[in-house]
Structure 1
Amino acid sequence: MVDLAIGLPCILIFVFLAIAANIFWLWMFIECLVKEPSDTNDKILWALVIFFGHLLGAVLYLVVRRHERIAMYGE
């Protein structure tokens, strides 16, 4: 009984974090496909980085490219 009391919250936290990570990944992937300009190959490159890098690729896009794109192109 004690093991269940300790294990269940850990499992719920893990499931919540996994769902949040997947939502964040999907949000960054869709934003890259929709809002990244198509005039260069940056859109394809970043989409591949996000798709194959999953959470790490999405965080890299957020930190490196998203703010730069907003400053250059707006939105």
Structure 2
Amino acid sequence: MEIGIFGAIVLALDILAIYAIVTSRASGLAKFLWIVLVLLLPILGLIIWFVAGPRGAKLKT
């Protein structure tokens, strides 16, 4: 089964977004709803999260 480069990038970004959501200072319900959004709508949810998501812990790169 081939994912393709675009699918692999989206998967990696979704995992990064979920990690950032979990480590944010948002409430438990907000974290749950953001994670559900990112999982159900991988591309659109990711874009919405980057624009309006919880701002908490910064990712260390």
TM-score, structure 2 as length reference:
0.68
Q: Which has the higher helix share?
A: 1
Kept after mapping to 2: 8 A contact 1:32/1:47: yes
**Is this contact kept in 2: 1:21–1:55, CA < 8 A?**
yes
Counterpart AA for 1:53 = L
2:37 is equivalent to residue 49 of structure 1: yes
Superposed structure 1 runs of 4+ greater than 3 Å apart: none
* Alignment: residue pair count: 56
- Alpha-carbon separation, structure 2, partners of 1:38 and 1:17: 30
Unaligned regions of 5+ residues in structure 1, if any?
1-13
Please, what is the CA RMSD of the aligned residues?
A: 2.2
Query: Which of these two proteins has the greater Rg computed from alpha carbons?
Result: 1
Change (3 A) 1:51 1:17: same
The structure whose RCO (Cα within 8 Å, separation 6+) is larger is 2
User: Relative to structure 1, is the Cα distance of residues 18 and 40 closer, same or farther in structure 2, using a 3 angstrom cutoff?
Assistant: closer
Identity %: 12
CA offsets 1:8-42 (integer angstroms, 9 cap, x no match): xxxxxx82112111111111112112x22253521
Cα pair distance change 1:65/1:17, threshold 3 Å:
same
Aligned: 1:28 with 2:20: no
